[in-house]
Amino acid sequence: MKRIPPFRFILAALAAFVSGFTCLAGTPSVQVRLVLISVSGDSTVIVPGESSPTTLNVPLRAHFESELVADDGKDYVLFPQWTVTRTYTNGETSNTVDYLKRQESVTDFEFTDYGKFQVNYAWSYREKDSVETVPGTEIQPMDFTIDDSDIRLYNAFSPNGDGINDVYKIYVRSIVNMKIAIFNRWGQTIKSISGKMDEILPADAEPDNEGGYLFEIWDGTFNGDVVNDGVYFINVQATGAGGRKYDKRADINVLKGLGLGN
Arithmetic mean of pLDDT, 94-119: 94
Residues 141 and 171 in one domain: no
Which one is predicted more confidently, 73 or 144?
144
Q: Which of 102, 125, 146 is the last residue of a domain?
A: 146
Residues 13 and 98 in one domain: yes
Q: Which of 99, 122, 146 is the last residue of a domain?
A: 146
Residues 106 and 214 in one domain: no
Neighbouring C-beta atoms of residue 59, cutoff 10 Å:
11
pLDDT of amino acid 99: 97
- 260 domain-assigned: no
C-alpha distance from residue 181 to each of 21, 75, 107, 175, 224 (Å): 53, 66, 48, 17, 18
**Which residues pair with residue 170 across a beta bridge?**
153, 215
pLDDT of amino acid 26: 62
pLDDT of amino acid 32: 98
- 158 domain-assigned: yes
Residues 88 and 193 in one domain: no
- Least confident interval from 2-16, 89-103, 205-219: 2-16
Residues 184 and 126 in one domain: no
* CA dist., res. 29 & res. 125, Å (int): 10
Quote the domain boundaries for residue 140: 2-146
How does the average pLDDT of the chain come out, rounded?
86
| Short-list 69, 67, 79, 74, CA closest to 32 | 67
Identity of the highest mean pLDDT range in 59-68, 141-150, 251-260: 59-68
Residues 99 and 66 in one domain: yes
Does pLDDT of 10 surpass 80? Answer: no
Arithmetic mean of pLDDT, 15-29: 52
Which one is predicted more confidently, 82 or 17?
82
Does pLDDT of 203 surpass 70? Answer: yes
pLDDT of amino acid 4: 40
Does pLDDT of 40 surpass 90? Answer: no
Arithmetic mean of pLDDT, 177-193: 95
**Number of domains observed in the structure of the chain:** 2
Residues 184 and 67 in one domain: no
Residues 141 and 36 in one domain: yes
Does pLDDT of 156 surpass 70? Answer: yes
Tell me the torsion sign for CA atoms 147, 98, 47, 106: negative
Q: Which of 111, 130, 146 is the last residue of a domain?
A: 146
DSSP string, 135-197: EPPP---EEEEE---EEEE--EE--SSSSSS-SEEEEEESEEEEEEEEE-TT--EEEEEEEEH
CATH code for the domain in which residue 85 is found = 2.60.40
- 100 domain-assigned: yes
pLDDT of amino acid 92: 60
152 Rama sector, left if φ>0, alpha if ψ -120 to 50, beta otherwise: beta
- Alpha helix stretches (DSSP H) within the chain: 9-20, 197-200
pLDDT-based confidence at residue 90 (cuts at 50, 70, 90): low
Arithmetic mean of pLDDT, 58-70: 95
- 259 domain-assigned: no
- 77 domain-assigned: yes
Neighbouring C-beta atoms of residue 25, cutoff 10 Å:
7
Residues 27 and 142 in one domain: yes
Determine contact, residues 3/42, Cβ cutoff 8 Å.
yes
Residues 130 and 218 in one domain: no
